[in-house]
Amino acid sequence: MLDVQNLSVEYKIQGGVLRAVDGVSFTLKRAESLGIVGESGCGKSTIAKALLQLLPKNGKISGGHVFFDGDDLVGKSAEEIRKMRQKRIALVSQSAMNSLNPVHTVGKQIIEAIRCHSRMSVKEAYARAVEVFSMVGLEEKRLRSFPHQLSGGMKQRAIIAMALSLEPDIIIADEPTTALDVVVQGRILQRIQKIHKEISSSMIFITHDISVVSEVCETIMVMYGGRVMEIADTDSFFRAPYHPYSLGLQNAFPSITEIGREELVSIPGSPPNLSEPQEGCRFHVRCPFATETCRIQEPPLEKVRDDHYSACWYNDKVESFRREAGKRDTWESVRKRIEEQILREDAHEEIEHEEIKGAGR
Ligand SMILES: Nc1ncnc2c1ncn2[C@@H]1O[C@H](COP(=O)(O)OP(=O)(O)OP(=O)(O)O)[C@@H](O)[C@H]1O
Ligand SMILES: [Mg+2]
């Protein structure tokens, strides 16, 4: 249904461009659910916005195609996209909770949204609103509430109900629960999963918490610095992840079902600055297993099993990587390496500074 090919997105920023998404490809079948994971800033929301042509003024799709039911969305007019958007692709975004209008009841807002995209009478739209409210576990009387009368979790469910009311072909949920407490998050995720099965729409679920994907999605795509590092069938991925970045993420977000696992280990260092040209594998600076090759050449996405691809030069060494990645020392040595590198750069800068001062004298 959705076939994204080589999608690249750039933002114009002061003094240059920032390539937030760089050559990303994936497909989404009808009724399939895809999870996009990765740390903050890796380009997840940018993909969602690009699919819906909701990029801000300084952002543009700089390459690639987005085929939706065979039609390329890239190059379509804003008007054409707007018509299609809510009806066929619905977005539940990171900040959706705040998008409810405080001066109207949620019922009024949802009925208006339904009528805006269909020929339903007010009565029919009301019946539909009741139906989707019950799907997300909200009582009919809540339709008469104003947003401030609802808890955060209820507001988020109302937003999800609004997205569902139009029976979209694709639901894009961009961190739909991050603003909520963990218990409420869990309940909403269960609902989303149930609804997704019931109405058989496809779903793109965006999150930085890898453990959430295992519960909600059939396919997982791991992104880093605007690139796809690994894409796989979720079962295959959680049984046997390949990319060192994925191994690191798994340590940082151990599954809720794996009780008694060792403490969390976050990946030392920070993601690359995407406004600078990238060389080699984007993860090499933070990778415990990186070699000279990784520093110079970018690895292609390579098939490692059926429905499982990983962009690492050393996919064949994954068994030992998995063992090493489970140890705290492995990541500790990365932290030391990064710190030493920073010290060296500082020292280098100081020498240069001295030289400039010397030359000036
Ligand atoms: N409007 C903008 N102008 C310039 N740069 C932007 C803009 N929006 C996002 N970016 C940059 O693009 C990159 C990708 O951002 P994006 O919001 O897509 O990441 P994300 O994976 O959704 O992160 P998060 O988990 O924090 O939501 C980041 O480096 C970000 O700073
Ligand atoms: Mg985001």
pLDDT in tens, 283-310: 999 999 999 999 999 999 999 999 999 9
User: How many Å apart are CA 220 and CA 34, to the nearest integer?
Assistant: 6
Average pLDDT over residues 168-189: 79
Residue 263: pLDDT band with limits 50, 70, 90: low
Please state the separation of Cα 231 from the chain's center in Å: 13
User: How many Å apart are CA 228 and CA 38, to the nearest integer?
Assistant: 10
Say yes or no to pLDDT of 261 above 60: no
Which residue blocks in the chain are alpha helix, DSSP H? 44-51, 78-88, 106-116, 122-135, 152-164, 182-199, 210-216, 234-239, 244-252, 292-296, 318-325, 328-360
Whole-model pTM: value is: 0.89
pLDDT in tens, 41-76: 999 999 999 998 889 999 999 999 999 888 888 888
For residue 208 and ligand 1, the question of a CB distance below 6 A is answered with: yes
Average pLDDT, the chain: 88
340, two tokens:
């030493």
What are the residues whose beta carbon lies below 5 Å from ligand 2 (ion)?
44-45
Ligand 1 center to 39 CA (angstroms) = 11
Looking at residue 12, its pLDDT comes to 97
Residue 256: pLDDT band with limits 50, 70, 90: very low
User: How many Å apart are CA 158 and CA 113, to the nearest integer?
Assistant: 12
Work out which ligand 1 atom sits closest to the CA atom of 226. Answer: 14
Task: For ligand 1, atom 6, name the residue with the nearest CA.
Answer: 11
Average pLDDT over residues 164-178: 84
For residue 16 and ligand 1, the question of a CB distance below 6 A is answered with: no
207-223 b/e (C-beta count within 10 Å ≥ 16 → b): bbbbbbbbbbbbbbbbb
Domain limits, the chain: 2-217, 241-354
Ligand 1 center to 47 CA (angstroms) = 10
Say yes or no to pLDDT of 260 above 80: no
- Judged by DSSP in three states, 8 sits in strand
For residue 320 and ligand 1, the question of a CB distance below 6 A is answered with: no
Ligand 2 center to 283 CA (angstroms) = 19
User: How many Å apart are CA 249 and CA 38, to the nearest integer?
Assistant: 8
- Closest by alpha carbon to 163, among 189, 128, 197, 187? 128
Entry field: residues in the chain: 361
Give the residue, out of 24, 45, 61, with the most ligand 1 atoms within 8 A of its beta carbon, to mutate for a pocket test.
Answer: 45
Average pLDDT over residues 326-353: 88
Average pLDDT over residues 320-346: 92
Task: For ligand 1, atom 26, name the residue with the nearest CA.
Answer: 40
Say yes or no to pLDDT of 259 above 60: no
Average pLDDT over residues 265-274: 90
pLDDT in tens, 111-151: 998 898 888 999 999 999 999 898 888 999 999 999 999 98
Please give the residue that has the higher pLDDT: either 318 or 94. Answer: 318
pLDDT in tens, 188-228: 777 777 777 787 789 999 988 888 888 789 999 999 999 99
Work out which ligand 1 atom sits closest to the CA atom of 46. Answer: 18
Average pLDDT over residues 317-346: 92
- Cβ neighbours, 10 Å, residue 110: 26
Residue 233: pLDDT band with limits 50, 70, 90: very high
75, two tokens:
């190059």
- Closest by alpha carbon to 160, among 91, 99, 207, 212? 91
Q: Is the separation of the CB atoms in 224 and 38 below 8 Å?
A: yes
Please give the residue that has the higher pLDDT: either 94 or 193. Answer: 193
14, two tokens:
């002061």
Average pLDDT over residues 226-243: 96
Average pLDDT over residues 250-272: 70
β-pair partners for 227:
224
Residue 355: pLDDT band with limits 50, 70, 90: confident
Residue type, 14: Q
**Cα 131–125–83 angle (5° rounding)?**
110
Say yes or no to pLDDT of 275 above 70: yes
User: How many Å apart are CA 354 and CA 332, to the nearest integer?
Assistant: 33
Ligand 2 center to 258 CA (angstroms) = 27
Looking at residue 262, its pLDDT comes to 54
- Closest by alpha carbon to 219, among 10, 42, 26? 26
* CATH class, range 2-217: alpha beta
